[in-house]
Structure 1
């Protein structure tokens, strides 16, 4: 059963079935911070979804999914039109799945299994017919899926809150940030290394990559994306993207 989620927050915990699936298309949706007792697999088929957690931001372009364990507070933001599938696993099933948040690559087999599971009725009997086989395959494919480096760790230091308040805009160079927050460049560098495991320049480059994927996945051109992210030319942006991902922007999105 396809089900279109309304703008109000959907509560998967009010159902008794071991798995609840959703097949939906939403535009400019913001779930707000929330959590549930079920583990969630959120798969973006078309468009791009940004997931904000307490300590990082994750990105789901097409063919990527996020596994969010039960009890983890998160926020999902969808720009423009996003076609997605979401599965909510009961606590009894969740121990078989990863114990931490992960962005994974969706294999052709997992993609094929997700569709009938997301379309199933909320009162589906998952112990009958093909359903237990689908469930077992899905769990195994999530466990074996390749992890994707599509997350940006967030520093916790209060001095950097002005930087984190707007993660849509290009973070400033280190010397500019130092002036804004009233701390030395060396101090900021130490904070980032300690709290994110990255230097500020590495963190800024990872932000650029994720924002580039977000813009391209929502229909922006390479020229627009290069300009927005402060690159002097399209060719420099493409070289940066290839150095970070091993492929060109167009090939990555295909």
Structure 2
């Protein structure tokens, strides 16, 4: 079984087989910045995970799979309790599913296959039999999974170092007063470093957080309040504008 306790030593780059799956449960964990020689597929079976990449952040709820390519520095933070699964792929022996970091929808069949692979022993032979078929189905499902706009670019300008990415970003004028830079300067920084206006970036942050809250089981009313909306209807209208669907339909479709 590839179930790991938090205290178990683990270096994926030392495993002989080209595919390694793990399952674990972590509470209030911060991995720190690190990288692997292998690509990583990461899935929060229960709970949500915050992922930081160079120049981008994402929140991974149980309806999404993250792909982190080989040798890409990243940081994984868990604020409560999360049961997660990871599959590591050796780029020398397995075709990588995507060239760049990606967040894709967790399809029902992909979820089942992901679970099977995550619990396979580290010495599993992936070149033949049922295991080879499992891996092939996993890669086929990833190829057809919908890419989600859940990787949010973040500016690196030191003037915005006070921007707390854990909380609802303030309105532009409030942020301007906090950092001591004009609204025009902040807008220019965001367009240059994220290719988005500040308002567009703030709305994308709200969507990222909204999916996280809804996937965690929070009601529309609670989610709307957490994200600073004046009413449920305002939140639903925002969500439909960003995704084309109501919050309930969007989350129910992914289960």
TM-score (norm 2): 0.91
Q: Distance in 2 between matches of 1:54 and 1:231?
A: 30
Q: Distance in 2 between matches of 1:5 and 1:223?
A: 37
Structure 2 portions without partners, runs of 5+:
none
Q: Distance in 2 between matches of 1:143 and 1:185?
A: 42
Q: SS where residue 78 of structure 2 aligns? A: strand
**Structure 2 residue aligned with 1:113:** 113
**Structure 2 residue aligned with 1:65:** 65
- Counterparts of residues 169-208 of structure 1 (less than 5 Å): 169-208=167-206
> Which segment is superposed worse, 5-14 or 46-55?
5-14
**Structure 2 residue aligned with 1:38:** 38
Q: Distance in 2 between matches of 1:247 and 1:8?
A: 42
Q: SS where residue 117 of structure 1 aligns? A: helix
Q: Distance in 1 between matches of 2:112 and 2:165?
A: 34
TM-score (norm 1): 0.91
Quote how far apart the aligned CAs of 1:2 are.
4.4
Q: Distance in 2 between matches of 1:34 and 1:9?
A: 15
Q: SS where residue 29 of structure 1 aligns? A: coil
Aligned: 1:215 with 2:213: yes
Quote how far apart the aligned CAs of 1:99 are.
1.3
Q: Distance in 2 between matches of 1:204 and 1:156?
A: 16
Q: Does the Cα contact within 8 Å between 2:67 and 2:98 map onto a contact in 1?
A: yes
> Which segment is superposed worse, 229-238 or 196-205?
229-238
- Counterparts of residues 101-180 of structure 1 (less than 5 Å): 101-163=101-163, 166-180=164-178
The count of corresponding residues between Structure 1 and Structure 2 is 252
Alpha carbons of structure 1 residues 248 and 93: separation in structure 2 relative to 1, 3 Å: farther
Structure 1 portions without partners, runs of 5+:
none
Alpha carbons of structure 1 residues 248 and 95: separation in structure 2 relative to 1, 3 Å: same
Post-superposition Cα deviations, 1:102-127, rounded to whole Å, max 9, x if no partner, equal: 00112223222212211100111112
Alpha carbons of structure 1 residues 141 and 118: separation in structure 2 relative to 1, 3 Å: same
> Which segment is superposed worse, 103-112 or 145-154?
103-112
Could you say what the CA RMSD is over the residues aligned between the two structures, in angstroms?
1.9
Quote how far apart the aligned CAs of 1:93 are.
3.6
Q: Distance in 1 between matches of 2:182 and 2:215?
A: 36
